[in-house]
Structure 1
């Protein structure tokens, strides 16, 4: 009994500390926007979801007090989330709310929890299994999810590889043709939400040629899937005769795609070069930095500077923000670790203006300052790293951080 009471007291102490206002890293936003910290000190908060009643759900990549999902609720509607529910004994990234269920992922399984009429979890200790047995070889193992209008869930299965070499991340090792990884990973799979206890074979490989599409979202304006993809590493380190250090820092592009069923984004055979606006053949497959390849692969909508790690995508369909943001894309960049000798880059949320599913202008930094330093010369010293995005029922957006476990609420008033 004494051990149980000590555990309860420790958990209550954690909640008290987490609810306190912490010293704020100033977040830079466009005029009219403001930020509010609604969660802090929750550890590695990955993706997030906000319910129609304003409840905030956070998926953790490391357990906190033995739990991997935290729900915060503003019970008295005073703007402060004072009620906390913790459940789920597994780590992971993906989380989303769809037709009366909360969906959450580990690195191998998609679970779901039924919500009742009061938006409470019916049985937090016994989730249903939607899909299990998904590939998990640690590298690019996190499973992001999104949903369409027709009752399907989409799951990213990242490739456990840099560029599908015979010996992964070994200089001089050639790329494999065909790439066997693409049979079970390196793409997005579609599953019906109406069926439980599915395996990979029960789903459809909706799109392929994606090293790690960590940011995925459904664009309801045009009824299509969109994705942000992490590009490959080690161009300069493996091929200094073709790429100097600066090119190795800037390339390959991080990419943003509109994805239709059957599309191939070209990994591992090509990468996108935003300077040349071309699909460049990977050196492991005979490329020289200029030769194009994979003519049947689709091109991205946008190519961003290399290695910035686009970890979340939100297609904005709210009404609170000014008209320019309607149907545009917010992308959370986790920040780079391998752009030396250039400064590390990212650690911010960008916006891509869009209409009818296509960009209408250049991308711009929307929310900045999370790292607490400029430039970022020491990755371990960065204060926060943007990781998840979600929209609230009032059109505000939420940004999570997996460095210190913060969540910010971004609001607009003219």
Structure 2
């Protein structure tokens, strides 16, 4: 079956700082977007199809889609041409993004469009680019720097971001540590008293979205006790921030007397948190065991694998098996997909390394149902097959790793891949 999608193209512009933008300024006819014959290699629920909208873009992290269906991608590292942001346009409305331009000479992860600006982050700063009425960057060579001086210690350094509806921007500042040990990732090393890392990392910071050159002193530590967040989104139904935390690593490696390799491969949970200002999710003092449904005291702080802790820490909204690395979170607000998906959450599990010697897992996109603004029932695997085969999944040497998520103006779902830079578009074949 075929899905009809409306695209608006863009007008020719002058070269800006050496970047040439081109296109047309008229609505194309309603174009037919057809899934690839093999659904881009993905396994999807009945009625859904997929196509590779673009390929080989670079290590694609987070993504933003304009109301016209054009796309901005943040790359983990700049291309050989020095472009850390890629702009893609579908010139003929067939769903394939064949016109590509780049700008922004920095790597990173964060990417978001809001109120006439494109927001993008490096690992230490956040920029914004003014957009014209067709959502094209006006001056690619001169972004406004709105946040600077964020800590980067080469561990959990990405600065994912999202905006609310009141002019605030939220930035993840990941902990530059696994579990705040006195000697990081060293067997038997105990935790630092008071975990000084939490002063400048291990949480979500709130800043103003329109104020230039903000530093830590201008921001608010909105939520703490979050080891590292890559996937986050603003839930429009609840008007609330939701985040996916990467759980801590190496329980068996660091404390082999307390944990088997199998326990270490599935614990702790990767957790979805609904955050309010002042919340504490408990890292590094506790972790969440998804099978016991309990907060467990970390071994670095006196735990034994069973002792509970974190009485003042919030509970997760939902919990998933450990070491699958959730890198994308998106609340679906479109109408193309069946009604069950409305206001539910898609999560892109990028896959981790920390399940060895047990088989690796993840490398898929799941759907978490919501009811009345709360996670409801079990998650279900929505899109699988990114890895290439079960054997590749188990080894972790996969073909593609899903990372960023975005919703198109027609309600389709875009998924990035930070191995080969494939951009997937998932559509529902209305009957």
Show CA shifts across 1:188-207 (max 9, x none): 01111121111111011110
What is the CA–CA distance in structure 1 between the aligned matches of 2:179 and 2:419, rounded to whole Å?
27
The answer to whether 1:357 aligns with 2:373 is yes
What is the CA–CA distance in structure 1 between the aligned matches of 2:300 and 2:47, rounded to whole Å?
48
State the SS of the aligned residue for 1:63.
Answer: coil
**Residue of structure 1 in register with 2:352 after alignment:** 336
**Residue of structure 1 in register with 2:3 after alignment:** none
Contact 2:39 2:49 (8 Å CA) reproduced: no
Find 1:322's aligned residue among 324, 338, 343. Answer: 338
**Residue of structure 2 in register with 1:303 after alignment:** 319
**Residue of structure 1 in register with 2:27 after alignment:** none
Find 1:225's aligned residue among 233, 236, 241. Answer: 241
The answer to whether 1:202 aligns with 2:218 is yes
**Residue of structure 2 in register with 1:15 after alignment:** none
**Residue of structure 2 in register with 1:45 after alignment:** 60
**Residue of structure 2 in register with 1:4 after alignment:** none
TM-score relative to the length of structure 1 = 0.93
State the SS of the aligned residue for 1:103.
Answer: strand
The answer to whether 1:157 aligns with 2:173 is yes
Contact 2:232 2:242 (8 Å CA) reproduced: yes
**Residue of structure 1 in register with 2:395 after alignment:** 378
**Residue of structure 1 in register with 2:120 after alignment:** 104
Which segment is superposed worse, 78-87 or 248-257?
78-87
What is the CA–CA distance in structure 2 between the aligned matches of 1:247 and 1:117, rounded to whole Å?
53
Query: CA 1:22–1:170 in 2, change beyond 3 Å: closer, same or farther?
Result: farther
**Residue of structure 1 in register with 2:303 after alignment:** 287
The answer to whether 1:61 aligns with 2:76 is yes
Contact 2:244 2:270 (8 Å CA) reproduced: yes
What is the CA–CA distance in structure 1 between the aligned matches of 2:144 and 2:267, rounded to whole Å?
42
State the SS of the aligned residue for 2:394.
Answer: coil
Find 1:178's aligned residue among 180, 194, 218. Answer: 194
Which segment is superposed worse, 331-340 or 399-408?
331-340
How far residue 213 of structure 1 moved from its aligned partner, in angstroms, is 1.0
The answer to whether 1:87 aligns with 2:87 is no
Count residues with an aligned counterpart.
Answer: 394
State the SS of the aligned residue for 1:377.
Answer: helix
**Residue of structure 1 in register with 2:42 after alignment:** 27
Contact 1:152 1:193 (8 Å CA) reproduced: yes
TM-score relative to the length of structure 2 = 0.89
Show CA shifts across 1:88-114 (max 9, x none): 000000000010000000000000100
Structure 1 segment 115-130 matched on structure 2, within 5 A: 115-130=131-146
How far residue 77 of structure 1 moved from its aligned partner, in angstroms, is 2.9
Q: How well do the aligned residues superpose, as a CA RMSD in angstroms?
A: 1.5
Contact 2:51 2:426 (8 Å CA) reproduced: yes
Show CA shifts across 1:278-332 (max 9, x none): 0000000000111111101001111111110001100111111111101001000
Q: Which runs of 5+ in 1 are unaligned?
A: 1-7, 9-20
State the SS of the aligned residue for 2:76.
Answer: strand
Contact 1:22 1:40 (8 Å CA) reproduced: no
Structure 1 segment 244-283 matched on structure 2, within 5 A: 244-283=260-299
